[in-house]
Amino acid sequence: MTRLWLVRHGPTHAKSMVGWSDLPADLSDTAAIARLRAHLPDAPIVSSDLRRASATADALNPAHRLPHDPALREINFGDWELRTFAEVEAEEPDTIRTYWETPGHVAPPNGESWNAVRQRVDNAVDGYLADTHDDLIIVAHFGVILTQVQRALSIDAYEAFSHRIDNLSVTQLTYAHDGWQAGPINHNP
Catalytic residue among 13, 39, 74, 177: 74
Domain spans of the chain, in order of start? 2-182
Cα dihedral sign, 36-37-39-44:
positive
Catalytic residue among 9, 81, 112, 141: 9
Give the rounded percent of residues in the chain with a pLDDT score beyond 70: 100
**Nearest CA to 10 among 183, 139, 163?**
139
Question: Is 9 one of the annotated active-site residues of the chain?
Answer: yes
Is residue 81 flagged as an active site residue? no
Q: What is the pLDDT of residues 109-153, one digit of tens each?
A: 999 999 999 999 999 999 999 987 899 999 999 999 999 999 999
- Residues in the chain, overall count: 189
Tell the CATH superfamily of the 2-182 domain. Phosphoglycerate mutase-like (3.40.50.1240)
